[in-house]
Structure 1
Amino acid sequence: MNYNTLIFDLDGTLLNSLDDLANSVNYALEKLNLPTRSNEDIQSFVGNGIEKLIELSIPEKTSYDKFAKCLFLFKNNYSKNMMVLTKPYDGIIDLLKYLKEKNYKIAIVSNKFQEGVTDLNNHYFSEYIQVAIGKSPDRRKKPYPDAVFTAIDELGVSIENCLYIGDSEVDIQTAKNTNLKSVGVTWGFRDKESLKNLGADYIIDTPEDLLSII
């Protein structure tokens, strides 16, 4: 297959954002006198947007009121601290540079809130990626295909030539729901075994490995 369009997940695929996410979750939990979470916990909770992240981070049977406060505290803190420890994974910038030189179309599709996706893309990838789609009230989040279709429309490309790259079960399911081939990356928030069990069409260990697929 000849792919000319690559749609990437953000957290766990392009960016290692785990420390900043964990720090902001624990900031919110501490403010509400709730038990904090380990980085391993947070790693297993990400992928479905910040509402789900907070829902999984707070103790079971926590009141909705406390959940809403925790979400507000997290988002407020994270918005100011999302670029403290976050950085692209090794090899990502080199890959994006190569893809741009070869005229591939590139987009980000994430379940992170749109303002966060826009800010992170502008800060780290604006030279290479023009279309960056996040969570928005006017479309369903992944694994629904809505955001991927939005990205394809904005790029002005044909869906037949698109490939979807991500690190989690949400990403593999999103690709299936959009009828795209999926590439699972092992450097993110899930391991190779999980990606294999989820049915990823391809699994890669380094960003450079993507070149052998496209």
Structure 2
Amino acid sequence: MNTYQSTVAGVIFDLDGTLVSSELDFTLIKAQVGCPDEHDLLSFIDGLPSPYMREEAMNIVHQHELIDAQHATLLPGVAQAIARLKEQAIPMAIVTRNYDRATALKLKNNPLPIQTVLTRSDAPPKPDPSALNAIATLWGIDQQHILYVGDYLYDIQAAHNANMRACLYAPSDVPAYAEQADYILHHFSELPKLINNLGQTRQSRLINASV
């Protein structure tokens, strides 16, 4: 990766499992809608043969998401890290595969100083990069200077599909696909330091290049 592109000028976050807790049981949800374990749930529902079947399956998903939203709490270190980035005037946004009502409930119960929030109700779900690209356009920031932080493979894929860098949040076990991420975050307290270090690395390289 080109060091001159290291500065982070904006950060986009996943929601569930990244900023807030989630206890969604995808094995149970897939069983209830008839989705094979190895298939992506949303893609499976989108491919069902009739509008009625898609609506019924999505209603089941919505019920699970709303129940989960009622119990979600901020994950350790999130509030402090977000506050630090806010102090540094770094633009922040959220892109989630959750749907709008559940997302709104989670953020109402766990308020964060992040105004831009896109759900699957607003754009195709990750790993599709549409939502990430829309935010880059909104901010007027080159994608290479935006960091996407999430806890799952789809987050890494979405970031790279949008030509952004991917930071995997892995507070406990590090999954095999972690090697695809540009950075790995074990605790949210590390995030402001990571962003600051990237900026300092670029500044140092620029100074050296001018000597």
Q: TM-score, normalised by structure 2?
A: 0.72
More strand by share: 1
Aligned pairs for 1:14-25 (under 5 A) are 14-18=19-23, 21-22=24-25
Identity score, percent = 24
Who is 2:90 aligned against? 104
Given the alignment of the two structures, is residue 92 of structure 1 paired with residue 78 of structure 2, yes or no?
A: yes
8 Å contact kept, 1:12–1:187: no
Match for 1:196 among 164, 178, 181?
178
Cα deviation code 1:79-107 (max 9, x no counterpart): 3x333321111111111111111111100
Shift of 1:145: 1.1
Q: Secondary structure of 2:71's match? A: coil
Q: Secondary structure of 2:191's match? A: helix
Given the alignment of the two structures, is residue 133 of structure 1 paired with residue 118 of structure 2, yes or no?
A: yes
Higher alpha-carbon Rg: 2
- CA RMSD of superposed structures (Å): 3.2
8 Å contact kept, 2:15–2:94: yes
Q: Secondary structure of 2:96's match? A: strand
User: Amino acid of the residue matched to residue 86 of structure 1?
Assistant: A
Who is 2:144 aligned against? 160
Aligned counterparts of 1:136 and 1:77: Cα–Cα separation in 2: 16
8 Å contact kept, 2:96–2:120: yes
Match for 1:72 among 43, 54, 59?
59
Q: Any stretches of 5+ residues in structure 2 without a counterpart?
A: 1-5, 196-211
Q: 1:143 to 1:70 in 2, by over 3 A?
A: closer
User: Amino acid of the residue matched to residue 73 of structure 2?
Assistant: K
Who is 1:187 aligned against? 171
Aligned counterparts of 1:157 and 1:164: Cα–Cα separation in 2: 13
Who is 2:203 aligned against? none
Q: 1:193 to 1:70 in 2, by over 3 A?
A: closer
Cα deviation code 1:125-183 (max 9, x no counterpart): 34x1010110136x322112100012223334343321111111101111111111111
Shift of 1:185: 0.8
Aligned counterparts of 1:108 and 1:140: Cα–Cα separation in 2: 14
8 Å contact kept, 1:4–1:162: yes
Q: TM-score, normalised by structure 1?
A: 0.71
Q: Secondary structure of 2:128's match? A: coil
Q: Secondary structure of 1:179's match? A: coil
